Amino acid sequence: MNMVGTANCFLLLQMFIPILSVATRLRIEWLSPVTPVVRGSVPGVYGSESQYFELSVNRTDWLIAYANGSTITTQEIAFFPTVDSGLFNLSSKMMQHFMVSLPHIGMGIARNGPLLRVYESVDFIKSRNDLVIGSTEEEFVNSACAPGSVLFVPLHRPRLIMDGDAHVNITVGAVGHRVNMKIILVSGPRLLTLPYSMIVTIKAIILAGQMSQESVNYSSFSNCESIRSQLPAISISFAQTLGSDISIGQLDVTSEDYTRLLGDDHCELLLGNSLVESVSGFNPLMLENVNLRFTRNSTFFCDSPF
């Protein structure tokens, strides 16, 4: 990366918590290569058993599984920080929100989540496996960013999900297919979703490199290293407005970013088809060697200095 199912009942948490006087750091763990979590407990619901809170950039705030669907009174959540002594305690009112199937408790770290409404910033420091709550912009830049690599992207204030978080010009290849789109932050197993016309170009290169082309599974394709060297880079240029050619900054996503090596020269493609042709879904938590800062109105990207 270069800088230029079955319905289960879940509950939404509304936060009533004090402002932090200093930044708090929580340890990020990984349940899979694409599933970052932090560890905590909800004694009033699960007792002392440790729980995983899956980090999400979706607009969902907080979700917690509860079998019978009834309203729960105010509960305390205790997180286990990395460097601070003791626990990071939150007092939260939980209430039934909607029915959805999720494998873990969700912890929203995007701009509409409760953490940002109270603490104003959440930093995802992938290079140190830290989730930093309530730091300053200066602290983030000085401690988590290589000099000169910070990309600041202001986000639009959405009314509907399809309004998008930002406007981008996406190009596949140096002189390849270019399209102007809205981009939204999403979670899930895909780094980026693109229009079919862009995906088909990449899939054709993968297909041509397979010994057998009868039943290619793009979630695990062979001849990975050779194919990676042939796949084009994807440029995400953040535009001032929809349709504008004026760029405020650019991310260059390489084939090593949008494929994952599984072993034995097999790879997985981390791209998907956009459900809406004019809207791209983007999960920045999957970027390697890139640290992130979320505020209510912006996202910062920077190369890790480590």
Is 224 in contact with 259 (CB distance < 8 Å)? yes
Among 73, 100, 135, give the residue marking a domain's end.
135
Q: Is residue 144 part of a domain?
A: no
pTM of structure: 0.83
Q: Is residue 96 part of a domain?
A: yes
If asked whether residues 164 and 106 sit together in one domain, one would say no
Name the token pair of 46: 């699960």
Among 135, 170, 204, give the residue marking a domain's end.
135
Q: Is 128 exposed, middle or buried (0-12, 13-18, 19+ CB in 10 A)?
A: middle
Q: Which residues contact 302 (CB under 8 A, 6 or more apart)?
A: 3, 141, 144, 145, 146, 149, 150, 151, 290, 291
Q: ∠ at Cα 85 (130, 60), nearest 5°? A: 45
Residue 201 sits in which domain range? Answer: 151-297
If asked whether residues 75 and 27 sit together in one domain, one would say yes
Q: Is residue 183 part of a domain?
A: yes
If asked whether residues 177 and 258 sit together in one domain, one would say yes
If asked whether residues 79 and 190 sit together in one domain, one would say no
pLDDT at position 213: 60
pLDDT at position 48: 82
Q: State how far the Cα of 276 lies from the Cα of 119, in Å rounded to an integer.
A: 33
If asked whether residues 169 and 229 sit together in one domain, one would say yes
Q: State how far the Cα of 211 lies from the Cα of 227, in Å rounded to an integer.
A: 12
Q: State how far the Cα of 39 lies from the Cα of 82, in Å rounded to an integer.
A: 11
Amino acid identity of residue 108, one-letter, is: G
Q: Is residue 95 part of a domain?
A: yes
Q: Is residue 208 part of a domain?
A: yes
pLDDT at position 83: 66
Among 135, 168, 183, give the residue marking a domain's end.
135
Q: State how far the Cα of 126 lies from the Cα of 253, in Å rounded to an integer.
A: 17
Binned average pLDDT, 10 residues per bin, the chain of 306 residues: 44 40 85 89 80 79 51 72 71 50 66 77 94 94 95 71 71 77 88 90 88 69 92 90 76 93 91 88 92 92 92
Is 263 in contact with 87 (CB distance < 8 Å)? no
pLDDT at position 93: 59
If asked whether residues 286 and 162 sit together in one domain, one would say yes
If asked whether residues 131 and 155 sit together in one domain, one would say no
Strands of the sheet with 192-194, listed across from one edge: 2-3, 247-253, 234-239, 166-172, 177-185, 279-282, 192-194, 271-273
User: Distances from the Cα of 113 to the Cαs of 106, 108, 222, 295, 305, in angstroms?
Assistant: 11, 5, 40, 10, 28
Q: Is residue 125 part of a domain?
A: yes
If asked whether residues 127 and 12 sit together in one domain, one would say yes
Is 260 in contact with 211 (CB distance < 8 Å)? no
The structural domain count of the chain equals: 2
If asked whether residues 112 and 216 sit together in one domain, one would say no
The number of beta carbons lying within 10 Å of the beta carbon of residue 181 is: 23
CATH of the domain at 265: 2.40.70.10
If asked whether residues 131 and 156 sit together in one domain, one would say no
If asked whether residues 79 and 170 sit together in one domain, one would say no
Name the token pair of 16: 């009533």
Q: Is residue 17 part of a domain?
A: yes
pLDDT at position 135: 93
Q: Is residue 171 part of a domain?
A: yes
Name the token pair of 125: 């420091």
Is 144 in contact with 292 (CB distance < 8 Å)? no
If asked whether residues 56 and 131 sit together in one domain, one would say yes
